[in-house]
C-alpha cells in the first residue's frame, strides 16, 4: 500500500485494534501446506517431525490443512488456464466467515463479486461488492474464496486512502482535518458491525430518508448511497397526515399510543396506518419503486435496504436491477443481475449485458 501521511498512522493502528488479530490471507494450496508444515515442525518432537516429513514425501497429493473444495467453473477467469483454488487456514478463520467469489463482467472488465451464504453479513458484502465493481478495492486475480476479515482490512485501506486525499485537499484547514480524523476513527470502530448487522430505521417520506445513526456514516465515507423503497404515496390521504415524516419506529409507537387513547379520529388514522404497514410488509411500494426509478442516476451503484437485507442496486437504461449474490448461482456465470420492476417479488435473471438469461426463467 502506498505511503501514508504521518497524521493518519493512528488510523492504521485503530483499524488493527478493532479487528480480529488472526491473520486473514488468501493462500494458495502450496502456501497453506508450507505454513501448516512449519507450525507442525515447531510443535512436534524431532522424531515426530521426521515421521511426518517421510509421510508427506510418500504422497504429494496429501495436504496438511483442511481443504475447501474449489468450484468447478468460475466465470471470468483472468486467463484460459485453470486457476488455483484459494485456501484459508481453518485454524485461524471460522468457515462461516469464508465466502465464495464469482467473477463477472461489468463495464467492460472482469470484477470479483463476493457471494452470500445463508447467514452472510449482507452489509459487509453489499459495500464490498460496490467497491469491487467500482475498482476501489480488488482481490487477487482468479481467487475463489475470501474471508470477511480480509474484506474488512481492504475496506479499511480504502477508507484511509480516501481520507488521505481529503486531508491533502484541505491541508490549510486544521479544523476540517481534525473532523476527518474523528469521522474515520468512528467509522473504523463500526466496521465489526458490518459482519452482524446495522441499526437502520427507514423514513416513509422518501427513498433516501433514514433516521441518522453512526452506522450511516460508513456509507457516506465510501460515497455509497443507501436507499429503500418503502415510501408512502402522499396521495394516500387517509394515512399521509398520520404518518407525515415519521420513521418506522416512530410510526409503530404512534400507532400503539393512538390505539390506547380515546381520540376516535386518531384511532381511525392509526388503524389505517397499521393497514398500510401490513399491506406493504414486503417493504416496497409502487410509489417507492417509481421514486427509485426516477431518482437514481443511470449506471449508478447503490445499496438497497429491504426486509433487513442489503443488496447492490443499479440502474441501466431506465430500469432497476439487483446484483445476484446468492451462492446458489455461483456456477451459473450468465446469472448476474435480476430485475426489480414490481412489488410482487417476481424477477427475471439477466446476464452481464442486462439481457434475459435463456432457460433461467423467472425468480419468484
* Cell reading at 300: 449508478
Residues with active-site annotation:
122, 309
Helix (H) or strand (E) holding 221: helix 216-221
CA distance 254 to 270: 8
Q: What angle do CA 339, 340, 345 make, to 5 degrees?
A: 105
What distances in angstroms separate CA 298 from CA 116, 224, 339, one per listed residue? 26, 15, 15
The string of DSSP letters for 151-212 reads: HHHHHHHHHHHHHHHHHHHTTT-HHHHHHHHHHHHHHHHHGGGGGT-----BBTT-TT-B--
DSSP assignment of 70-97 equals PPS--TT-SSSSPPPPPB--TTTS-GGG
Task: Give the whole-angstrom CA distance, residue 238 versus residue 289.
Answer: 21
Q: Which residues make beta-bridge pairs with 312?
A: 303
Amino acid at each position: 500500500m502506498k505511503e501514508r501521511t504521518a497524521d493518519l498512522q493512528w488510523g492504521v493502528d485503530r483499524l488493527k485494534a478493532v479487528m480480529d488479530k488472526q491473520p486473514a490471507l488468501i493462500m494458495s494450496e502450496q502456501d497453506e501446506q508450507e505454513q501448516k508444515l512449519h507450525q507442525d515442525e515447531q510443535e512436534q518432537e524431532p522424531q515426530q517431525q521426521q515421521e511426518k516429513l517421510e509421510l508427506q514425501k510418500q504422497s504429494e497429493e496429501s495436504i496438511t490443512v483442511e481443504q475447501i473444495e474449489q468450484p468447478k467453473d468460475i466465470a471470468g477467469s483472468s486467463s484460459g488456464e485453470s486457476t488455483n483454488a484459494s485456501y484459508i487456514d481453518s485454524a485461524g478463520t471460522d468457515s462461516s466467515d469464508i465466502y465464495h467469489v464469482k467473477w463477472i463482467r461489468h463495464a467492460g472488465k472482469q470484477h470479483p463479486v463476493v457471494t452470500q451464504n445463508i447467514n452472510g453479513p449482507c452489509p459487509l458484502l453489499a459495500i464490498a461488492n460496490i467497491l469491487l465493481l467500482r475498482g476501489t478495492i480488488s482481490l487477487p486475480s482468479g481467487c475463489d474464496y475470501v474471508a470477511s476479515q480480509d474484506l474488512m482490512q481492504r475496506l479499511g485501506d480504502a477508507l484511509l486512502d480516501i481520507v488521505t486525499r481529503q486531508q491533502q485537499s484541505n491541508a490549510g484547514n486544521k479544523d476540517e482535518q481534525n473532523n476527518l480524523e474523528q469521522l474515520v476513527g468512528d467509522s473504523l470502530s463500526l466496521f465489526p458491525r458490518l459482519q452482524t448487522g446495522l441499526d437502520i430505521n427507514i423514513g416513509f417520506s422518501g427513498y433516501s430518508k433514514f433516521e441518522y445513526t453512526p452506522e450511516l456514516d460508513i456509507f457516506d465515507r465510501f460515497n455509497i448511497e443507501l436507499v429503500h423503497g418503502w415510501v408512502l404515496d402522499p396521495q394516500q390521504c387517509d394515512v399521509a397526515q398520520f404518518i407525515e415524516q415519521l420513521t418506522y419506529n416512530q410510526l409503530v409507537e404512534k400507532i400503539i399510543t393512538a390505539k390506547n387513547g380515546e381520540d376516535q379520529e386518531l384511532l381511525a388514522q392509526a388503524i389505517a396506518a397499521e393497514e398500510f404497514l401490513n399491506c406493504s410488509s414486503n417493504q416496497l411500494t409502487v410509489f417507492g419503486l417509481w421514486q427509485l426509478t426516477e431518482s437514481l442516476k443511470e449506471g449508478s451503484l447503490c445499496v438497497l435496504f429491504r426486509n433487513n437485507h442489503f443488496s447492490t442496486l443499479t440502474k441501466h437504461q431506465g430500469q432497476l436491477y439487483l446484483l445476484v449474490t446468492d451462492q446458489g448461482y455461483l456456477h451459473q456465470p450468465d446469472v448476474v443481475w435480476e430485475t426489480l420492476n414490481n412489488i410482487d417479488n417476481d424477477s427475471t435473471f439477466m446476464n452481464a449485458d442486462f439481457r434475459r438469461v435463456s432457460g433461467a426463467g423467472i425468480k419468484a
